[in-house]
Amino acid sequence: MTERPAPTLLDSLDAAVEFLLTARHGPVHVGAPLGLGKPHRLLNALYARIEKDPSRPLHLYTALSLDPPGGGKGLEARFIKPFAQRHFGDDFPRLAYVQAARRDALPSHIEIEEFYLQSGAMLGSTQVQRRYASLNYTHVARALADRGVNAIVQKVARSADGSRLSLSCNTDLTFDAIDAIAARGLPRPLLIAEVDPELPWLGGSAEVDASFFDAIVQPPGPYPKLFGLPRQPVSDVDYAIGFHASTLVRDGGTLQIGIGALADALCHALVLRHTDNAAYRAVLRALGSAQAEDPTLAPFALGLYGCSEMINEGFRRLVEVGVLSRKVVDDRGLMQRVADGHASEEDLARLQREGEFLHGAFYLGSPDFYQWLRDLSDEDRRGIGMKRVGEVNELYGGDEALERLQRRDARFFNTCMMATALGAAVSDALEDGRVVSGVGGQYNFVAMAHALPDARSVLLLRASRESAGATTSNIVWNYGHTTIPRHLRDIYITEYGIADVHGRSDEDCIMAMAAICDARFQQSLLDTARNAGKLRRDFVLPADAAGNTAQSLQATLQPYRRNGTLPDYPLGSDFTAVEQRLVKALGWLKANTATRSGKLRTLWRALSARETDSEALQRMGLASPSSLGERIEARLLNLALVQAASEC
């Protein structure tokens, strides 16, 4: 292998842009990592330079362009703006191309193509919607080669002596993209690293020599905060789904999870199963779970191995309490001996010494999560391996036989927006084709579950949703777009239970899905199935399915809310105590003013509401309202605070 020359060291963003544009003539085809590894400041400098020069077209290929919340209007703005200022910092570099794309104001010579969008953020942008690329995560590197990417920019961490760099948060696509470009016989892309001292260092396969990059820029400080995902409260619905899901996890198995409140609820259930098994089983009994007395749902003795494209807050907690502790090594012979029960003491000692308990392709989380990564013990740091997405998301990115041995009893948990009665899932887009988020790795994990004999694909969804004052079912007969086809149906979970539809007939699938449907929508679903000739006329749902109501669920879980078994923020919160009260109050207000009649009724009630939470009013800048509008907002907030507190 030819030794690569030392990288060019640059001390300013403008110098890095000049380096790129000098080295690449004509159109610039730039790849940038998704999420945290995207060098915001470097991309902003590049955008500012090219925006003024139509002779240098820019094509940017990326995903998950993170943008802090903007603030909204009224009470929402009063809550979000101070929080965003504290959480993200005054100097967080919002991506200029994102701001332009929101307004459909990208210049004609600049094109942005993303394969995964910040959820719901770009539904109104025709420029983004037109250039969205619907790709499995593992197919992106090949697509980058097809598009002729000639430069890659990435945020990195740097060792103390400067000789080594860590791809840290994003090992997912960089290596794969370089290999895919080389396989096309194309020149190696120009690689430019932006050093961020805030980025946690992770070694192993994330670590590269500085010469891996052609240029390294470390702009002067101060350095903005890393983008922190605000942790959201976990609802009764989320907890019910999480606890049902936790019963499917086998000790000694493999775990993949997504992100969001449903994943947080699942991780809390697994933590409780390990640390307070009696409380865990009590919640299962309350939910009517048939697994509540299952002896295999004991605390974890063998532990779990995590293998997930994204490492997040939930994995942090599972590591802290010792649930994530089953180690694997990249040695097929050793893993085979472990599987056969023939591992020697030397094998087991090596497994504990060299093994890793968590593999991921990128990470994203809260500021507390990033601090945890910075403060990892040497042993825990060695236990986390950042891998290529092709190695994590499928069995065919490396040694398939080895990966099958490592991923025993795998459970792949992902979320979807809707599911059909015939077992298809809607996860990324709307019926009219507009993209909410993206396919990402979901299809990869569903397919892998079907390829592993002891694995299961588990899709989590809330049984219903509210919009504009109307409640609709998330289990529907049919939908104009699907992400996961019905022939890959496996397990669905709502707050009302588990539907195991793996390999089932259409009729059996319909019956199972109806049983976990909100009671208000069961009959219409069954009637549609009968009219389509897919369900026998005399079928009747079990009697307990009539109890699939939000009111029943709330009553069931309320004691566990009150005694602290089910906290609002099981993995910690980025909100202050008063902000947590305000989150509940604003949620109540939104639900009760979704319709015109609801607005009038709520406003009438608010006129007689008395001040009960002066701290909350102070936080919202409404302690001394000075106008009619502010006085109305203060009254509405008073009412919402009282009502939200009474429902706890």
The pLDDT tens digits of the residues spanning 82-93 come to 999 999 998 999
**Which residue ranges make up each domain of the chain?**
8-217, 236-463+471-547, 577-646
How confident is the model over 432-451, as a mean pLDDT? 96
Identify the pLDDT of residue 613. Answer: 87
| Type of residue found at 477 | W
pLDDT digits (tens, 9 = 90+) for 135-186: 999 999 999 999 999 999 999 999 988 889 999 999 999 999 999 999 999 9
Calpha distance 302→357 (Å, rounded): 12
For the domain bounded by 8-217, which CATH number is listed?
3.40.1080.10
If one counts every other C-beta atom within 10 angstroms of the C-beta of residue 573, the result is: 19
pLDDT digits (tens, 9 = 90+) for 344-373: 999 999 999 999 999 999 999 999 999 999
pLDDT over 70 percentage in the chain = 99
If one counts every other C-beta atom within 10 angstroms of the C-beta of residue 380, the result is: 16
Identify the pLDDT of residue 594. Answer: 86
What pLDDT band is residue 648 in, cutting at 50, 70 and 90?
Answer: low
Q: Could you report how far apart the first and last alpha carbons of the chain are, in Å?
A: 64
8-217 and 236-463+471-547 have identical folds? yes
Give the mean pLDDT of the chain: 95
| Type of residue found at 146 | D
What pLDDT band is residue 579 in, cutting at 50, 70 and 90?
Answer: very high
How confident is the model over 617-641, as a mean pLDDT? 92
Identify the pLDDT of residue 90. Answer: 87
Query: In Å, how far are 256, 310, 409 from 270, measured between CA atoms?
Result: 13, 18, 16
User: What is 236-463+471-547's CATH superfamily?
Assistant: Acetyl-CoA hydrolase/transferase C-terminal domain (3.40.1080.20)
How confident is the model over 308-315, as a mean pLDDT? 96
Enter the tokens of residue 299: 């605390």
CB 231 within 8 A of CB 87: no
DSSP 184: T
- Measured in degrees and rounded to the nearest 5, phi and psi for residue 176 equal -60, -40
Calpha distance 13→21 (Å, rounded): 12
Q: Give which of 265, 303, 358 is closest to 571, Cα–Cα.
A: 265
Spatial CB neighbours of 301, under 8 Å, sequence gap ≥ 6: 251, 252
What own/partner pairs with CB < 8 Å and gap ≥ 24 does 586-594 have?
586/75, 586/76, 586/79, 586/640, 587/644, 588/640, 588/643, 588/644, 588/647, 589/75, 589/636, 589/637, 589/639, 589/640, 591/466, 592/640, 592/643, 594/466, 594/467, 594/468, 594/469
Instruction: Give me the helices (H) in 89-139, please.
Output: 96-102, 126-131
Q: Give which of 241, 148, 172, 165 is closest to 199, Cα–Cα.
A: 165
Identify the pLDDT of residue 250. Answer: 98
Calpha distance 285→283 (Å, rounded): 5
Spatial CB neighbours of 415, under 8 Å, sequence gap ≥ 6: 258, 260, 262, 263, 427, 459, 460, 461
| Residue 468 Ramachandran class (φ > 0 left, ψ -120 to 50 alpha, else beta) | left
CB 178 within 8 A of CB 200: no
Calpha distance 581→583 (Å, rounded): 5
Q: What residue has token string 């891996």?
A: 212
Spatial CB neighbours of 269, under 8 Å, sequence gap ≥ 6: 239, 242, 243, 245, 246, 280, 283
How confident is the model over 93-119, as a mean pLDDT? 97
Q: Give which of 283, 167, 194, 152 is closest to 563, Cα–Cα.
A: 283
CB 230 within 8 A of CB 87: yes
- Cα within 13 Å of Cα(438), Cβ side: 26
Calpha distance 314→271 (Å, rounded): 10
Which stretch of DSSP H or E encloses residue 494? strand 491-494
CB 307 within 8 A of CB 411: no
